[in-house]
Every structure is written in C-alpha cells, then in structure tokens.
C-alpha cells in the first residue's frame, strides 16, 4: 500500500472520554480551555493551570484507546511508509500500538514536565501527581506541562520531522481526523502531502476549513468511521 500521512486532533480521543477543547465538555470549572492553555494563564495562576493539567492526566490514564486509534495503528502496519502527526497530548495512539518512530506529537506530551526557564524536562512519575507547583531541580524556576500552549511556536525537532517526511516524497493517502484545522500548518501539511493527486480524506462530524480541499468527506465520529475506512483500504 501507498505512502500515508494521518493527522489527528482532539476529536479522535473524544470517544475515549477525553473532551475536546471546543466541544460541550471542554470547559473546566467554568473556565475556557482556550484561555487556560496559555502562558498568560500560567503566569497569572500557575497553581490553577497545574490543577487542570493534573486532572487531565488522571483522566487520560483512566481512559482506553478506541477503535479509531486501533484502526490507525493497523493502517500503519500495512502502509509502505507511514507518519502520524497528532495534535493530541495524550498517549492513546501509543497505547493502541503505534510506534513512537511513526508518530510526531506536534503539540507536545502531557506526561512531560519541563522548566519554564531553562527547558529541563522530566517524565511525570506514574500515578504520583505533585501537589502545588513543582520547581526545576536545575534552576529553581517553575515547572510547566510539556505541551505547546496557544501562541507558542511549534517544537523545532518535531516540526523538522514532519518537514523531512513531506520533502522526501508525496503521499498517496492523507487522512485528517477530529481536528478543527484552525492552525494554518495543519492545512498546509495536508495539502502538500497530497499534492501529486493523493487522496485527501477528512473524517469529522462538522465542516472545517479543510473540508473544501478534501477528495472525500466522512461526516461521522472517528471510532465508527476509521475502522470501516481502514478495512476498505486494506
């Protein structure tokens, strides 16, 4: 089978019980995630932001990958070449069996903790969440979650891995699932990957800015649509 690029957003984990930011369950204690996931919110109230992330980590630990994550892992095994670019910070793609080498977490990893000043990184010890705001063991500045907040640049190494994959060759199949595609680079990558006549399939119950470029639209939830699509392709 062909060279494949899959791009996922929060919608692919929605059916595992992880709320999307813009969906009806996205709000936390009446607070808008779009405002919480910023360096401004962290500067104003680091403790509040950490509480939100601790709860989200716990929810993700208790969640299981769904049939959509599993279908993507199956597709990866069949493809000639495969890359998943996920905006998700959860670990459900990995727990569904996808190798780290086949995926780029372009918005970071919620289980990483990094220093807000020197960038020192630490993997969060399983199950033992800290109380309050942790401090860097190297420079004593406040530690923050290892994710990309709104308004922050993409991590260089991860962005470069996507670039390398796109530059090496075009893709015969591009699937974009569960993302509002509000970030320009998501649309850019999908269009560049499919530039030589590759199929561009969007799976999302709602219309997005990418919809008009898709060669095929599937207006269904990911856990239903992805297994069917992957069966059909194989």
Residues serving a catalytic function are 107
Please name the residue ranges forming H helices in 31-183. Answer: 33-36, 39-44, 46-62, 67-78, 92-95, 156-168
Strand partners, 51: none
How far from chain centre, in Å, is Cα 147?
Answer: 10
Does residue 66 belong to the site contacting ligand NAD (CB under 6 A)? no
Nearest residue to ligand NAD by CB is 11
Q: Considering only the stretches 76-84, 85-93, 95-103, 134-142, report the one whose residues sit in contact with ligand NAD under the rule CB under 6 A.
A: 85-93
x/- track of binding to ligand NAD for residues 188-217 (CB under 6 A) = ---------------xxxx-x---------
Does residue 22 belong to the site contacting ligand NAD (CB under 6 A)? yes
Binding residue (CB under 6 A) for ligand NAD from 113, 116, 124, 179: 179
Please name the residue ranges forming H helices in 63-146. Answer: 67-78, 92-95
Does residue 137 belong to the site contacting Zn ion (CB under 5 A)? no
Backbone angles phi, psi at 215, to 5 degrees: -85, -15
Q: Compute how many residues bind ligand NAD; rule: CB under 6 A.
A: 27
Minimum CB distance to Zn ion smaller for 17 or for 119: 119
3-state secondary structure of 42: helix
Using CA atoms, how far residue 42 sits from 46, 141, 145, 160, 212, in Å, is 4, 13, 10, 27, 37
Task: List contacts with Zn ion (CB under 5 A).
Answer: 115, 117-118, 120, 136, 138-139, 141
Task: List contacts with ligand NAD (CB under 6 A).
Answer: 9-11, 13-15, 18, 20-23, 87-90, 107, 177-180, 203-206, 208, 221-222
């Amino acid at each position: 089978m062909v060279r494949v690029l899959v791009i996922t957003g929060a919608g692919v984990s929605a059916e595992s019980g992880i709320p999307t930011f813009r969906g009806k369950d996205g709000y936390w204690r009446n607070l808008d995630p779009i405002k919480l996931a910023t360096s401004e919110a962290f500067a104003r109230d680091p403790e509040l932001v950490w509480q939100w992330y601790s709860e989200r980590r716990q929810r993700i630990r208790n969640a299981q990958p769904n049939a959509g994550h599993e279908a993507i892992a199956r597709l990866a095994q069949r493809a000639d070449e495969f890359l998943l670019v996920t905006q998700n910070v959860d670990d459900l793609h990995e727990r569904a069996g996808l190798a780290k080498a086949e995926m780029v977490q372009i918005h970071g990893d919620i289980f990483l903790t990094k220093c807000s000043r020197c960038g020192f990184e630490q993997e969060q010890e399983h199950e033992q969440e800290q109380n309050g705001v942790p401090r860097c063991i190297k420079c004593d500045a406040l530690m923050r979650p290892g994710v990309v907040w709104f308004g922050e640049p993409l991590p260089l190494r991860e962005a470069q891995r996507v670039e390398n994959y796109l530059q090496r060759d075009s893709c015969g199949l591009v699937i974009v699932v569960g993302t509002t595609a509000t970030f320009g680079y998501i649309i850019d990558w999908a269009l560049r990957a499919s530039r030589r006549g590759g199929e561009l399939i969007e799976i999302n119950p709602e219309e997005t800015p990418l919809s008009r470029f898709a060669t095929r639209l599937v207006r269904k939830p990911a856990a239903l649509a992805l297994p069917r699509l992957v069966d059909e392709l194989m």
